[in-house]
Amino acid sequence: DGGITQSPKYLFRKEGQNVTLSCEQNLNHDAMYWYRQDPGQGLRLIYYSQIVNDFQKGDIAEGYSVSREKKESFPLTVTSAQKNPTAFYLCASSIDPPATSGRALGDEQFFGPGTRLTVL
């Protein structure tokens, strides 16, 4: 079955450590996204990538880094520079972002199950 996976489901980090969250999709989607969700809040965009070897900062990119070396993979690194990293991290993908598809409507985003990161 096609889908999007994230690992690990739960992650604990000591202050000052970098950690990398995995996101893999086998849906052949071009676009991938990373969001952060805090309790009682909506999703905030960290980074997104529309194509391999290219990615853009979202609204809250400071303290995070990403890479997109393969179409299927979009790992997120939470660095020690992120002041308040404890949150629920969600990865998503979509077939083709409107900017490159030329279509008027955006495409549905498919989400992975998320990673809960806790800083000890």
Partner 1 sequence: RKEVEQDPGPFNVPEGATVAFNCTYSNSASQSFFWYRQDCRKEPKLLMSVYSSGNEDGRFTAQLNRASQYISLLIRDSKLSDSATYLCVITGGSYIPTFGRGTSLIVHP
Interacting residues toward partner 1 by CB under 8 A:
33, 35, 40-45, 48, 58, 88, 90, 97-99, 104-106, 108-114
Of residues 105 and 120, the one with the C-beta less far from partner 1: 105
CB of 57 to partner 1, least distance (A): 11
C-beta of residue 8 within 8 angstroms of C-beta of residue 115? yes
Closest CB 8 distance from partner 1, rounded Å: 15
Q: Identify whether the C-beta of residue 89 lies closer than 8 Å to the C-beta of residue 19.
A: no
The DSSP code sequence of 47-107 is EEEEETTEEEE-TT-TTEEE--SBTTB--EEE-TT-S---EEEEEEEES--HHHH--SSPP
Q: How far is the CB of 113 from partner 1 (least distance, A)?
A: 5
Tokens of 111: 């989400």
Q: Of 45 and 52, which has the nearer Cβ to partner 1?
A: 45
Cβ nearer to partner 1, comparing 9 with 83: 9
- Paired with 78 in beta bridges are 19, 64
CB of 12 to partner 1, least distance (A): 17
Give 85 or 112: the residue with its C-beta nearer to partner 1. Answer: 112
